[in-house]
Amino acid sequence: MKSLGFTAGNQIDLLHCGAEFFPALIYAIDHAQAEIYLETYIFASDATAGLVKEALIGAARRGVVVKVTVDWIGTGRRQCAELCQEFSREHVFFQAFNPWFERGIARMHRKLCLVDRKSAFLGGLNINDDMLSDDDAHIPLPMPRWDFGVRIEGPLVRKIFLEMETQWTKLQSLALRSRWELYREKFSTRAHDSKAALAALVVRDNLRNRRTIQKTYLKALGGARESVLLANPYFAPGRKLRNALASAAKRGVKVTLLLGVGQFRSQDAVAHAFYPNLLKHGVRIVEYRRTQLHGKVAVVDEEWATVGSSNYDGFSLFVNHEANIVVRDAAFAAALRKHIEQGISDGVSVDPQAFVNIPWYRRLGYGVAYLLYKNVLRVLTFGKYLE
């Protein structure tokens, strides 16, 4: 695969759950002086989202150029209309991604914010209260949603700016020559070789980066020597990633999957269809049930780590627009590892023998769920999900 374009000299701060993420985000917005870009899948109507909305409007009133993109499905048609009206009154630029599926089936699942081209935020957190279910805001969660974001300062921020500016412009009407100039600037950045801490932006779209995130995972798994910790709420990867996990475990790497369960029964059934083969090859699977696990994070060995919006399923890896950061830094990896290990400690390990002996009707249900999922993804990805 092509170089990820790592840059050195970045300050990457790990932010755990909304209690750390939203105060940092709102502080940055409140101190913005020139421009703000924000992308999110869900922009809810709860109290937390209200604080972010007020901060964005306050910045616009100070003369800051504020551009907000939300996903039409994730945020909802009615909420998009209300946000459009309110933001328009306050001179905040607003657009919904792919309304009425005008641009196909892809969704904008990225969670990004850029402030003054000096700092950026990226991760798995939507603009919603992490004490409320993201399926139904009327359902309280027993604990804050388990999720992660990062605050970034340094050279990588420019790449994030170019990515967000391109995404905003792509959704506008633009002459062909202007589009070419924009893409040429975006992809002209070269990788920086350095032994210092490195970070790279990894995006997935349906143009030049169709498999970038999957290939990044495959390369990390293929090079793993000692351990792999992977946490994700929606586990339904294609054959290549499943084989990479099993292969790492077979060659002696300690592979542990921390998976969110209990949110969608159909999703759980699909994930369970993969358990027997993974368990057989030595992959440890831990189910997290204390609250909604929404983090999409991984740590490989001592210094490779990733945080982002991409789930470990066919929709994120083959259909939707996603954004992750890969960090090569021992201190950052250790901090993220500590959180994942705590999640593993709070979870329930799947007993390989007990799972082998599950009733036939459950096994049949898991197989049917996977068959339906596989065939849907086969159609949506033109067969790519099966690879």
pLDDT tens-place string over residues 104-140? 999 999 999 999 999 999 999 999 999 999 988 889 9
- The answer to whether residues 246 and 273 belong to one domain is yes
- The answer to whether residues 235 and 176 belong to one domain is no
DSSP codes, 165-214: HHHHHHTS---HHHHHHHHHHHTT------SS-EEEEEEE-SSS-SSHHH
- The answer to whether residues 232 and 102 belong to one domain is no
- For residue 3, is it within any domain? no
- Cα separation of 184 and 182, whole Å? 5
- The total of structural domains in the chain comes to 2
- The answer to whether residues 163 and 22 belong to one domain is yes
- For residue 72, is it within any domain? yes
Per-residue pLDDT 10s for the chain (387 aa) are 556 789 999 999 999 999 999 999 999 999 999 999 999 999 999 999 999 999 999 999 999 999 999 999 999 999 999 999 999 999 999 999 999 999 899 999 999 999 999 999 999 999 999 999 998 888 999 999 999 999 999 999 999 999 999 999 988 854 444 545 544 544 444 433 334 469 999 999 988 899 999 999 999 999 999 999 999 999 999 999 999 999 999 999 999 999 999 999 999 999 999 999 999 999 999 999 999 999 999 999 999 999 999 999 999 999 999 999 999 999 999 999 999 999 999 999 999 987 778 888 998 999 999 999 999 998 888 877 876
Query: Pick from 159, 185, 211: which residue ends a domain?
Result: 185
- The answer to whether residues 215 and 177 belong to one domain is no
| Catalytic residue positions, numbered | 109, 111, 116, 294, 296, 301
Query: Pick from 185, 212, 231: which residue ends a domain?
Result: 185
- For residue 249, is it within any domain? yes
385 in Cβ contact with 374 (< 8 Å): yes
- The answer to whether residues 217 and 366 belong to one domain is yes
- For residue 1, is it within any domain? no
- For residue 37, is it within any domain? yes
- Give residue 357's pLDDT: 81
- The answer to whether residues 271 and 150 belong to one domain is no
We report the CATH number of the domain holding residue 216 as 3.30.870.10
Q: Which domain holds residue 232?
A: 197-386
- The answer to whether residues 172 and 30 belong to one domain is yes
| Dihedral (Cα; 160, 161, 162, 168), 10-degree rounding | 110
Query: Pick from 185, 215, 246: which residue ends a domain?
Result: 185
- For residue 5, is it within any domain? no
- For residue 293, is it within any domain? yes
- The answer to whether residues 157 and 25 belong to one domain is yes
- Give residue 60's pLDDT: 98
- For residue 4, is it within any domain? no
pLDDT tens across 169-207, in order?
988 854 444 545 544 544 444 433 334 469 999 999 988
Task: Look up tokens 């990820």; give the residue.
Answer: 4
- The answer to whether residues 168 and 252 belong to one domain is no
- The answer to whether residues 219 and 367 belong to one domain is yes
- The answer to whether residues 214 and 143 belong to one domain is no
